[in-house]
Amino acid sequence: MSRTTIIVLVALGATLAGFALASTASRLTTSDEAPASGVAAGPQAVALDWREHYGAPDERIVFSVASLEVTPTGWRARIGVENASSAAWELDPGATPNGTFGLQLFSSGDVEEFKDRNAAGTLPAVRAAVRYEPEPPKILEPGASWEGQISAAGALLAGSWVRVVFGTLIAVGKPPEGLDEVLVWITDHTHQLRA
């Protein structure tokens, strides 16, 4: 599992002071750059069955994406978060500018491009989810999980490569060794949208 998919948000006191990639500790900013096809993706649905994890087998967070659908008016994704660690985690969408649940659109599905853009601080803006069904819990206790549908209005560009963003997750108390206090996960997996 590539550690480049985890973006660590560093907490200084009560203020989130910066962003760093877990494996490289690089600064993170965003760009609204997206593929330049100019054509909106048409309605489509795909079963994805993605499953990725952050942490060691005995102390980790598991992220899943079951499906993605583009509708005539927006998009929706069926996702899940499982807390397989000994710490509780606060699920706080929107706690940071880039720390929200949603989608990011890229011009390719190449993981090296993703790593380079993250290191350069040029990741595209998150297309934030505005609806959650059911609402995620405020705190995800050890051994607990949440599955639901996230969605938002707005067109997605055909030809774009989609990654799903999970965030912000904030450890309640000290996290287990090897896990960061605050994190946002961006999937290694991608899916290309068709016209």
Does residue 13 surpass a pLDDT of 90?
A: no
CA distance 71 to 86: 38
CA distance 99 to 154: 19
pLDDT (tens digit, 9 = 90+) per residue, 28-45?
A: 333 344 444 589 999 999
pLDDT (tens digit, 9 = 90+) per residue, 128-175?
A: 999 999 999 999 999 999 999 999 999 999 999 999 999 999 999 999
Q: Tokens 């055909």, residue?
A: 158
Q: Which two tokens stand for residue 113?
A: 């491009």
State the chain's mean pLDDT as an integer.
83
Please report the pLDDT score of residue 98 as a whole number: 67
User: How large is the average pLDDT for residues 46-74?
Assistant: 97
Model pTM score = 0.81
Rg (alpha carbons) of the chain, rounded to whole number: 16
CA distance 85 to 87: 6
End-to-end Cα separation, the chain, in angstroms: 31
CA distance 55 to 123: 23
Please report the pLDDT score of residue 11 as a whole number: 31
Please report the pLDDT score of residue 147 as a whole number: 98
Parse the chain into domains and list their residue ranges. Answer: 3-189
Does residue 16 surpass a pLDDT of 50?
A: no
